[in-house]
């Protein structure tokens, strides 16, 4: 089957797709597609219409993702999966996908603003597990479970419902992992299972790992493997064990910790065997009846754009410690550890360089530090500046004998740099010009 490429330009509001869908406004954009609010010309139904992003590199690969999303969502037909209403090809705008219009917000947004309680969060995750159970039963693995792909809407009775989005990279029948022409691994690193991050074939248990990571992040405020650098996160996912929920959320019940920790087991055989099994355990946790709201995290987000040297060093130490954990593929662990060392070295070098540049840029001007008086074999009494010097003749030193002088920043005050200047003679702890009345002590005047 020949699939069309993307259109060269984005259509504007008012454009008609497939002679029946009128575009109203742009709703958002994803990796390969753009989504519009649209209206069917005949039925006046409000819909969401997805078109391929106008990027030639997407090509047949992007069209295949649109087709795969249409087939997966339609064949599963679950109330917690966004409904696909239509799909086809438009001569002017390329391939399109028509979805039910959802009025609500992403789970990521709701959790971030503290708009979801602990009990409500668990109920929403149960709905996601129910949808995944239906998908897995038909051989589909979603492979991109994350808070941004869970959309929250209200039913007619006001109940909150989770809708699972974006089956564009889903695969059926436990097929191969890589789907891009360049062999890139698709998914979101913070919620990607270790086997998916390694580019290996995945099954339903990979989705359960992602659900565990999503629940971990919603409860604690950070993903199991958090960081601002995608490469560091990927290496950590591949080479280290996930932290226990109890280590980040001490008040969590033992039952809830068991659900999350088992889902995040590094080896698929150690995880829940199915979405139904994980859901059964999650329904039994005492937190399900909690009405406590999650904290508002909008003002506590870390705004840094990359890790500091300290965090990079900590990540490297954790990576090296975890590399000793037995794995089915020791070669992957060794290779990933070497990559981690290289990545962290580059990051640390960049951070240290930036710190040095910042220190130089903000360093105060240098000030001269007065030197201590010369040490002499005899104790001496320093005469006040206004006192009369002891009556003794000035000693003329031979030219080849070094002269003890007061250091100066100016050539005119230094007899060796300016030959016509009057020599300065060291006498005990006081320094005198000739005649004695021109007394110059070591201090700010000498510089």
Question: 25 by DSSP, 3-state: which?
Answer: strand
Cα 423 to Cα 282, 376, 397, 429: the distances in Å are 91, 19, 10, 17
On whether the CB atoms of residues 186 and 219 are closer than 8 A, the answer is: no
On whether the CB atoms of residues 137 and 54 are closer than 8 A, the answer is: no
Q: What's the rounded Cα separation, in Å, for the pair 60 and 49?
A: 19
On whether the CB atoms of residues 88 and 38 are closer than 8 A, the answer is: no
Q: What's the rounded Cα separation, in Å, for the pair 255 and 282?
A: 8
Query: Per DSSP, what are the bridge partners of residue 161?
Result: 153
Q: Are strands 33-40 and 21-29 parallel, antiparallel or unpaired?
A: antiparallel
Active site residue 144: yes
Q: What's the rounded Cα separation, in Å, for the pair 147 and 385?
A: 79
How far, in whole angstroms, is CA 372 from its chain's centroid? 53
**Angle at 355 (CA atoms; ends 350, 360), nearest 5 degrees:** 130
Maximum distance among all alpha carbons in the chain? 118
Query: Which residues, including other chains, have CB under 8 Å from residue 387's CB and lie 6 or more apart?
Result: none
Cα 415 to Cα 38, 241, 268, 313, 421: the distances in Å are 89, 72, 83, 54, 5
Tokens 């702890």 identify what position?
429
- Sign, CA dihedral 26-27-30-33, equals negative
Quick one: tokens of 340?
Answer: 């981690």
Nearest CA-CA partner of 433 in 445, 421, 444, 423: 423
Quick one: tokens of 226?
Answer: 């958090």
How far, in whole angstroms, is CA 419 from its chain's centroid? 65
Nearest CA-CA partner of 202 in 234, 233, 170: 170
Q: What's the rounded Cα separation, in Å, for the pair 330 and 328?
A: 6
Q: State the catalytic residue, choosing from 90, 144, 166, 261.
A: 144
Catalytic residues: 144
């Amino acid at each position: 089957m020949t699939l069309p490429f993307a259109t060269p330009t984005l259509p504007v509001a008012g454009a008609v797709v497939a002679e029946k869908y009128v575009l109203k406004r742009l709703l958002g954009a994803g990796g390969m597609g753009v989504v519009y609010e649209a209206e069917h010309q005949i039925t006046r139904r409000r819909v969401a219409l997805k078109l391929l992003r106008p990027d030639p590199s997407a090509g047949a690969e992007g069209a295949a993702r649109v087709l795969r999303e249409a087939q997966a969502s339609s064949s599963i037909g679950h109330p917690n999966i966004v409904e696909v209403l239509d799909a086809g090809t438009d001569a002017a705008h390329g391939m399109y996908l028509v979805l039910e219009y959802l009025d609500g917000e992403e789970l990521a947004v709701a959790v971030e603003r503290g708009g979801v309680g602990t009990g409500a969060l668990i109920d929403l995750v149960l709905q996601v597990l129910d949808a995944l159970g239906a998908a897995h039963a038909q051989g589909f693995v979603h492979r991109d479970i994350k808070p941004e792909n869970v959309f929250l809407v209200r039913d007619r009775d006001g109940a909150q419902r989770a809708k699972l989005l974006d089956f564009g990279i889903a695969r059926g029948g436990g097929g191969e992992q890589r789907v891009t022409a360049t062999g890139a691994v698709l998914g979101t690193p913070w919620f990607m299972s270790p086997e998916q991050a390694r580019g290996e074939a995945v099954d339903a248990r990979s989705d359960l790992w992602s659900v565990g990571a999503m629940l971990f992040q919603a409860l604690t405020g950070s993903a199991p493997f958090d960081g601002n650098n995608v490469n560091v996160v990927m290496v950590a996912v591949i080479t280290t064990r996930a932290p226990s929920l109890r280590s980040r959320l001490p008040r969590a019940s033992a039952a809830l910790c068991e659900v999350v920790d088992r889902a995040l087991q590094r080896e698929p055989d150690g995880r829940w065997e199915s979405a139904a099994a994980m859901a059964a355990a999650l329904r039994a946790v005492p937190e399900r009846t909690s009405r406590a709201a999650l904290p508002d995290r909008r003002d506590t987000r870390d705004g840094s754009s990359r890790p500091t040297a300290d965090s990079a060093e900590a990540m490297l130490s954790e990576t090296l410690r975890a590399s000793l954990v037995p794995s089915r593929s020791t070669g992957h662990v060794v290779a990933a550890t070497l990559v981690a060392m290289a990545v962290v070295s580059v990051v640390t070098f960049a951070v240290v360089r930036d710190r040095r540049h910042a220190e130089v840029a903000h360093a105060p001007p240098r000030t001269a530090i007065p030197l201590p008086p010369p040490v002499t074999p005899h104790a001496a009494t320093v005469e006040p500046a206004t006192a009369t010097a002891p009556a003794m003749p000035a000693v003329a030193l031979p030219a080849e004998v070094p002269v003890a002088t007061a250091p100066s920043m100016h050539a005119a005050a230094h007899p060796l740099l300016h030959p016509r200047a009057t020599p300065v003679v060291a006498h005990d702890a006081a320094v005198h010009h000739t005649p004695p009345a021109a007394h110059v002590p070591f201090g700010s005047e000498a510089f």
